[in-house]
Amino acid sequence: MFALLAVLLIVVAHFVALVGFSDIEAHDTIKNTEKIEQVIVWETMSIDRAARDWAFWEDTYEFVNNFNSEYIDSNLDNNTLFTLNLNVMLFVSKSGDIIYPMSVDLINDTEVPVPAGILEGINNRILTTRKETDFIHGVILLDKGPMLVVCRPILDGSVNGSYGGTLILGKYIDNSYIFSLEERTRTSLAISTLNEEMPSDFKEAFYETARGGKSVVKVLGDERVAGYFALKDPEGKPVAIVRADYPREIYSHGKKMLYFMYIFLLISGAIIAAATKLTLDRLLVSRLIVIDNFLEKVMVDSDISKQLEIGGEDEIQRLSKGINDMLSSIRLAEQELKAKEYEKNFILDSLEEIVVLKDPDFNVRWANRTALKNKELLIAEVKGLKSGNSQVEKDLLNKPEKTQDPIRTEQEFTSPEGKTWIIRSKPVHDEAGNIIAVLETGMEITERKIYEIELFHAKQDAEIANHTKSEFLANMSHELRTPLNSIIGFSDLLSEKAYGELNEKQLKAVGNILTSGKRLLSLINEILDISKVEAGSFELHYSAFWLPNMFTEVQDMLFPFATSKGIKIELEIENSLPRVYGDKERLTQVLINLVTNAVKFSNENGCVRVKASQSKNFINVTVSDEGIGIAAEDQAKLFKPFSQIDSSASRKYQGTGLGLALVKEIVQLHGGTVWVESEVGKGSTFGFSIPLSSRNE
Residues 100 and 225 in one domain: yes
Band (pLDDT 50/70/90 cuts) for residue 404 is very low
* 598 domain residue, yes or no: yes
Beta carbons within 8 Å of 171's beta carbon, 6+ residues apart: 43, 47, 85, 86, 87, 88, 147, 148, 177
On whether the CB atoms of residues 82 and 106 are closer than 8 A, the answer is yes
Angstrom distance (rounded) from CA 587 to CA 341: 68
pTM score: 0.40
SS3 231: strand
Calculate the alpha carbon distances from 417 to 411, 420, 446, 447, 451 in Å: 18, 9, 11, 14, 19
CA-wise closest residue to 626 among 609, 645, 650, 651:
609
pLDDT in tens, 665-689: 889 888 899 988 888 778 889 999 9
Angstrom distance (rounded) from CA 366 to CA 76: 132
Residue 423's CATH number: 3.30.450.20
* 357 domain residue, yes or no: yes
Residues 378 and 473 in one domain: no
DSSP state of 498: T
Please say which residue of 230, 247, 264 terminates a domain: 247
Domain count, the chain: 4
CA-wise closest residue to 359 among 431, 410, 443, 428:
428
* 380 domain residue, yes or no: yes
Residues 549 and 418 in one domain: no
Residues 598 and 544 in one domain: yes
pLDDT for residue 487: 83
pLDDT for residue 260: 75
**Over 70: is that where the pLDDT of 159 sits?**
no
Partners of 224 in the β-ladder:
247
Residues 484 and 588 in one domain: no
Residues 188 and 79 in one domain: yes
**Over 60: is that where the pLDDT of 83 sits?**
yes
Residues 460 and 551 in one domain: no
Q: Strand 136-142's sheet: what is its strand order?
A: 110-111, 98-105, 88-93, 163-172, 145-155, 136-142
CA-wise closest residue to 411 among 399, 396, 398:
396
* 319 domain residue, yes or no: no
Beta carbons within 8 Å of 127's beta carbon, 6+ residues apart: 118, 121, 136, 140, 149, 151, 166, 168, 234
**Over 50: is that where the pLDDT of 192 sits?**
yes
Residues 658 and 567 in one domain: yes
Residues 437 and 456 in one domain: no
* 341 domain residue, yes or no: no
Angstrom distance (rounded) from CA 630 to CA 683: 8
Beta carbons within 8 Å of 185's beta carbon, 6+ residues apart: 32, 35, 36, 39, 244
pLDDT for residue 388: 44
- Number of C-beta neighbours around residue 536 at 10 A: 8
Please say which residue of 420, 444, 468 terminates a domain: 444
For all residues of the chain together, what is the average pLDDT? 80
Calculate the alpha carbon distances from 286 to 71, 277, 281, 282, 324 in Å: 108, 12, 6, 6, 19
Residues 359 and 500 in one domain: no
* 630 domain residue, yes or no: yes
Element (H, E) at 66: helix 58-66
Residues 394 and 459 in one domain: no
Residue 132 belongs to what domain range?
12-247
Look at 389-393, 454-458, 508-512, 602-606 and tell me which has the smallest mean pLDDT: 389-393
* 311 domain residue, yes or no: no
Q: Is 440 left (phi over 0), alpha (psi -120 to 50) or beta?
A: beta
What percent of the chain has pLDDT above 70?
Answer: 86
Angstrom distance (rounded) from CA 426 to CA 424: 7
Angstrom distance (rounded) from CA 147 to CA 166: 18
* 383 domain residue, yes or no: yes
Residues 412 and 482 in one domain: no
Farthest-apart Cα atoms in the chain, separation:
157
Residue 155's CATH number: 3.30.450.220
Element (H, E) at 182: helix 175-185
Radius of gyration of the chain (CA): 57
Look at 59-73, 82-96, 411-425, 618-632 and tell me which has the smallest mean pLDDT: 411-425
Element (H, E) at 266: helix 249-280
Angstrom distance (rounded) from CA 20 to CA 512: 109
- Residues 49, 54, 55, 57, CA torsion sign: positive
Residue 583's CATH number: 3.30.565.10
For the CA atoms of 424, 430, 434, 436, what is the dihedral angle to 10 degrees?
-60
Angstrom distance (rounded) from CA 30 to CA 24: 10
Provide the terminal-to-terminal Cα distance of the chain, rounded to the nearest Å: 84
The residue among 279 and 404 whose pLDDT is bigger is 279
Angstrom distance (rounded) from CA 690 to CA 617: 9
On whether the CB atoms of residues 172 and 108 are closer than 8 A, the answer is no
Band (pLDDT 50/70/90 cuts) for residue 605 is confident
pLDDT in tens, 319-373: 887 888 888 888 888 878 888 777 777 777 777 677 888 887 777 877 887 777 7
> What is the Cα 411 distance to its own chain's centre?
52
Please say which residue of 496, 523, 550 terminates a domain: 523
**Over 50: is that where the pLDDT of 389 sits?**
no
